[in-house]
Each structure stands twice: as structure tokens, then as C-alpha cells.
Structure 1
Amino acid sequence: MSYSRESAFFFSDSEDRKRFFRRMAIRDYRFSTWLRLVAPLCLLMACVGFASGFYGEAPRHLFAGMRSQYPLLTATLDVVSDYADNVIFVVYLGVLVQAIAAKDRCKQVFFFRFFVGLVGVLLLVSLVKGLCGIPRPGIPLPAAPLSFTYHFGSFPSAYTAQIVALALPLVFFFRKRWLHIAMPIVITLVGFARLWLGKHHPVDIFGGVLFGSLILFFMFRKARGVL
């Protein structure tokens, strides 16, 4: 199998290529690894869905009452929803700076693939939002396909998709134990925050997990079976 174009551009010798593809092949990571990362959020959304519905006004009314009862928690989740992705972006920026300073070709290509994959995922999410035109909580049906407006852009959750797309590559590439612990917590907090704040229905969060996970296809699909 031939090497990808970005690999030919970044790598100066075959050892660099081999080291990169060994890491990117993620042979030690299977479906179970992905499942462990997204399962807490998915289980939480399933519990909410079976208790009050996966779509509709019941989940919105449930969390509207809770928001008034727990203002501090609401303020905390609001901060998490708005800034968790920015913190992880800083981590990626640090990876890029370190990779350039150390002339680490593996991390440079990792960042390149991550950037392309993230842009692809977010563009796809925006397209699906506009095509489906699903009303946000509090906005009555019917849907408004092709509207491309905020009020009819509930499915899928872009914030959830983005945090999943940010978290998964870090875990799969760097293989650090603390990332296996921290990233599921971050994913769960952001996804739950979107529901708590009345921005999405439970089904929207599931959609965000699904579309955000597609970044693994963008980043790692060419690496499988190369070596």
C-alpha cells in the first residue's frame, strides 16, 4: 500500500514513516476502546431517554425545573459547555508547537490529520443540521429541512460532536492512562451540559457522538494494514 500524500510531504526517511504508521495503525485499540470512551455519556442519555423521552418537551421540562433548583450546577455546566473544547484546543496547540520545535514528524502528521478530520466532521455536522432542520427544545414541530437556522439545527449536537472529535484522537494516538480516565469524563460532562441547558434533545447527543466519532475514520483509515 502506498503512503499518503501528507506522509510524503512530512517524512524525510522510511524510519519516520514506519514509526508513524505503527502508532497510527492503532492495532491495540478496537471497538471496545471507543465504547469505553463514549459509553458513560450514551448510558446517561439512554437513562434520560427511557425516563422522559428521547425527543420532545418532556426532557426539556425535566431539566428546566432542575436548572432553577440548582443554579450553581447550571452555571458550572454552562462554563463546561462553552470552554471545555477550548482547553483541549490548547492541548493540540501545545502538541503542534512541541512537534515543530522537536522536528517530530509523527506528531506533525498527527496534527495535520487531526485538523483535516476535525474540519471534515464539523462540515458534515453543519450539513446534516441544515438538511434535517430538527427543532430545538421549545420549538414546536414540524421540522424545517434546508432552513440552516439555529432554531432548526438541533440534530446532531455540534458541541458534542466537536468534543468527541477532539478527545478521541488524543486517546488513540498518545495512549496515556490519564487520557483514558479524563476524556470520558469530559465527553460526558459536555454532552450532559447541552441537555441540562435545554439546547438539545437526548437523540441529538447520540447523533453528536456518532458524527464526532467519524474523525477516527478520517485520521486512521489509511494507516490500517500499511505495515
Structure 2
Amino acid sequence: MHMRDIKYRKLIFILLIILIAAVLLSSVFYRYDSNMVIYINSYRNPTMDWLFLTITNIAGTITYVVATLALLISFIKRLKPIKIQLRAIALAAALSGLLATALKHVIHRVRPQDVYLTIHDLGPGGGWSFPSGHSCDAFVLAAILSLVYPKKRLIIPVYCWAIAVGFSRMYLGVHYPSDILGGVLIGSSMALLAYYICTYKRPKTT
């Protein structure tokens, strides 16, 4: 068996482990993190409310605008390596969004503000709770950019932004910490999958 095929089989195995871990977060460990979201949500103030609402509201927009632009520009660029990089960004966002939506409708986890009366729902947060779609969006973008442009100074600020998005979801009272961790795992794993799909080169047969 070719070494590259072995490498991709290992990748598939790792991705399966990550997805299993994400599901375990939604079913086994979530009972332990309700106190954390209640605690974080209790320390609200008008300035922080505005800040985290802004961070939350632009998260998905940033990711899908970047992904859409990357896809469109990929049809203009002539250099193949650049095309591959741009299409990997678009594919990663699409895979993450689809998987997050599918898991929400399979797992049916109720949001914390609908369970605990002490949580002040600052929104937005409709539908099911696991995984955090906003966290998926933020971390898939951070992860795919770190894979496509590993030496760029942009990576640290993008990851700081992604962490802020995840924290904002707990601060606003619409997600558990395990929802956020699930989003991190799913977004990052889909970025990895998209990157390898786009860069995979089938070995030449002799």
C-alpha cells in the first residue's frame, strides 16, 4: 500500500475519533458544564453585552463571506496551488456548516436558557444547542487558514477571534461549554478533511 494512502486512512480514523468525541461531549459530559454557563452568564454588564453580541453576530458572516470570496477568486486565479488553497477554504466552511446542522437535528439538545431560569438569554440562539454553529464557523476558518497559510501572522489574531466567538456564546447564555468544544472539534476536523481532500494527489500507477 502506498504511504500516502496509509496517511489518509490514518486521517479518516482520526476524524472518526474526533466526531465520536464530539458526540460524547453532547451526551455524557454536558451534565457537568451547566454550572459554568450559569456562572459566566451571571457576570453581565452593558458594555460586555454589546461587545459579545457584536462578536457573535458577525461570526458566521465573516466565515461565509471569506469562503464565498475564496471560491469566486479560485475561478479567476490561474496558478493551481492558489486555486487549491482557496477551494480548501470554501470546502471547509461548507463541510462544517453541513455537519453542524445535521448533528443539531440528530442530537436535539435543548439550549441552556430553555432549561435554567437563572440564565438571562441575550441571544441570538434559536434551534438546538449542540454543536455551537458559531463556534464551528469560527474555528473552521481559523483552522483552514492555519493549514493553508501556516506562516502568516494572521493566524494568532484569527484564533483569538475564534476563542472570543466561543466564549460569547456562553456569555450570552445560549450554549454550554461542551457545545463550544464540540464546535471546536467539528470545525477543526472539517478544516483538516477539506485540506486533505483538496491537496490529495493520487499516486501514479506504474
TM-score, structure 2 normalization: 0.68
Aligned to 2:143: 168
Larger radius of gyration: 1
Q: Deviations over 1:151-186 (max 9, x none)?
A: 661111111011111121112112234123212201
Equivalent-residue separation in structure 2 for 1:157 and 1:151 (angstroms): 11
Aligned to 2:80: 105
Q: 1:55 aligns with which of 17, 23, 33?
A: 33
Cα distance 1:65–1:91, how it changes in 2: closer, same or farther (>3 A)? Answer: same
Count of paired positions: 168
CA RMSD in angstroms, aligned pairs only:
3.2
Aligned to 1:21: none
Q: CA deviation at 1:64?
A: 3.2
Q: 2:196 aligns with which of 220, 223, 226?
A: 220
The within-5 A match list for 1:54-133 is 54-56=32-34, 58-67=35-44, 70-92=45-67, 95=70, 99-133=74-108
Equivalent residue letter for 1:55: D
Cα distance 1:155–1:92, how it changes in 2: closer, same or farther (>3 A)? Answer: closer
Q: CA deviation at 1:94?
A: 5.2
Equivalent-residue separation in structure 1 for 2:106 and 2:74 (angstroms): 39
Cα distance 1:126–1:113, how it changes in 2: closer, same or farther (>3 A)? Answer: same
Equivalent-residue separation in structure 1 for 2:133 and 2:143 (angstroms): 15
Equivalent-residue separation in structure 2 for 1:223 and 1:100 (angstroms): 17
Q: CA deviation at 1:217?
A: 1.4
Aligned to 2:186: 211
Identity over aligned pairs, percent? 23
**Ranges of 4+ aligned residues in structure 1 off by more than 3 Å:** 87-102, 221-227
Cα distance 1:90–1:139, how it changes in 2: closer, same or farther (>3 A)? Answer: closer
Aligned to 1:180: 155
2:115 is equivalent to residue 137 of structure 1: no
Contact 2:146 2:155 in 1 (8 A): yes
Aligned to 2:165: 190
Q: Deviations over 1:102-134 (max 9, x none)?
A: 423222232223323322221111111111111
Equivalent residue letter for 2:40: F
Q: Deviations over 1:14-71 (max 9, x none)?
A: xxxxxxxxxxxxxxxxx9xxxxxxxxxxxxxxxxxxxxx7432x2343233211xx21
Cα distance 1:80–1:159, how it changes in 2: closer, same or farther (>3 A)? Answer: same
TM-score, structure 1 normalization: 0.62
Gaps of 5+ in 2: 2-13, 15-30, 117-124
Cα distance 1:135–1:213, how it changes in 2: closer, same or farther (>3 A)? Answer: same
Cα distance 1:225–1:93, how it changes in 2: closer, same or farther (>3 A)? Answer: closer
Contact 1:95 1:107 in 2 (8 A): no
Equivalent-residue separation in structure 2 for 1:104 and 1:90 (angstroms): 22
Equivalent-residue separation in structure 2 for 1:191 and 1:210 (angstroms): 12
